[in-house]
């Protein structure tokens, strides 16, 4: 674990230390001004959340169909990290929206679906913790269900009329904005990998402890 963790920690810390400099040097958006700079943390946090959700869903499918306990451990780690990044997105979004749209929470298709995905993974963690024997399989099914919601969240702004910007905004970012944005995306993905590595180590240690208890019996 230390082999990956320490280099990841150094890279992530360096990236997060430099990110504010890049964001400060990025140009202001014409209608939103300063508050638009939340974009450089808000959207990357969703990138990281969706990455963790896909990892959790795929590993859950491997656990369900191939019965690999190591896949389940990785799924739990990714599921918990997905909830963290989802929370970041759900907190930074309203802070941006309050200034840009005049409301904290618009209840449009995008934010409502994003909230549902977040709640699905909160449910995943609650089922794992409190549902007793067999909860790992039930939670794995929930994770797969949650993963299939992600494309709908992404496409929701194009399908339904919402006040969220369309998905065409990111590919067409004007000069000066793509550099800081993709740098922040890389920083968040690096942070996501770092947290999943740390959380997986915890899960592996728990599995080792369970094995020791079983040996003793």
Partner 1 sequence: MIRSLLSTALVFFGLAVSVFAQPPQQNEFVPIDKLPPSDQLPSAPLLITAYVFVWIATLVYLWTIWRRLAKVEADVRGLEQRRAAATRR
Residues that bind partner 1 (CB under 8 A): 20, 33-35, 37-38, 41-42, 45, 84, 87-88, 91-92, 95-96, 98-99, 191, 195, 198-199, 201-202, 205-206, 208-209, 212-213, 215-216
Query: Nearest to residue 121, comparing CAs of 61, 164, 57?
Result: 57
Asked if residue 123 lies in contact with residue 145, where contact means CB atoms within 8 angstroms, the answer is no
Structure tokens at 193: 């990998």
Q: Which is nearer to partner 1, 32 or 170 (CB)?
A: 32
CB of 13 to partner 1, least distance (A): 11
CB of 140 to partner 1, least distance (A): 22
Asked if residue 82 lies in contact with residue 52, where contact means CB atoms within 8 angstroms, the answer is yes
Q: Which is nearer to partner 1, 57 or 93 (CB)?
A: 93
Burial class of residue 6 (count of CB atoms within 10 Å of its CB; 0-12, 13-18, 19+) = exposed
Asked if residue 57 lies in contact with residue 143, where contact means CB atoms within 8 angstroms, the answer is yes
CB of 152 to partner 1, least distance (A): 25
Q: Which is nearer to partner 1, 37 or 128 (CB)?
A: 37
CB of 166 to partner 1, least distance (A): 22
């Amino acid at each position: 674990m230390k082999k990956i963790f320490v280099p990841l920690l150094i890279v992530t810390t360096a990236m997060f230390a430099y990110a504010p400099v890049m964001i400060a040097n990025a140009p202001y958006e014409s209608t939103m001004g300063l508050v638009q700079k939340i974009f450089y943390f808000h959207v990357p946090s969703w990138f990281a959340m969706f990455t963790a959700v896909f990892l959790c869903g795929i590993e859950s499918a491997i656990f369900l169909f191939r019965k690999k306990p190591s896949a389940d451990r990785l799924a739990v780690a990714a599921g918990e990290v997905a909830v963290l990044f989802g929370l970041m997105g759900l907190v930074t979004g309203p802070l941006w929206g309050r200034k840009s749209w005049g409301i904290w929470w618009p209840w449009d298709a995008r934010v409502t679906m994003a909230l549902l995905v977040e709640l699905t993974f909160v449910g995943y963690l609650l089922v794992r913790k409190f549902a007793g024997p067999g909860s790992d399989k039930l939670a794995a099914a929930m994770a797969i269900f949650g993963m299939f919601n992600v494309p709908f969240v992404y496409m929701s702004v194009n399908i339904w009329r919402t006040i969220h910007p369309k998905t065409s905004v990111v590919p067409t970012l004007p000069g000066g904005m793509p550099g800081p944005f993709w740098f922040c995306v890389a920083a968040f993905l690096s942070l996501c990998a770092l947290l999943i590595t740390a959380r997986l180590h915890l899960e592996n240690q728990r599995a080792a402890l369970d094995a020791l208890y079983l040996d003793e019996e």
